[in-house]
Structure 1
């Protein structure tokens, strides 16, 4: 079922498919775009929340 990665496995993988993202398609443009939108959206939401909490905006 699962086996330790060999040099043959690494030859077929892109650099972004290593580490914790060891599945096919981990570096596809669709997945990268979705991840980027979620990450940046979360950061923006936290900044907005922090500004509202600190300065009582609205």
Structure 2
């Protein structure tokens, strides 16, 4: 197992961690013609409860 020979300095650690970035959630239009609300991809619509043209949950 690889073990570091020397302690990594704070500046090196922080510069490496500065590359950790988050991205905004990509929103798409609901496929339900009556709804058309923005929703996250690959998730049932929180407004109408449909996913892929089928009713999967009760609308909120």
Please, what TM-score do these two structures have when normalized by structure 2?
Answer: 0.30
Greater share of residues in helix: 1
Larger Rg: 2
Please, what TM-score do these two structures have when normalized by structure 1?
Answer: 0.30
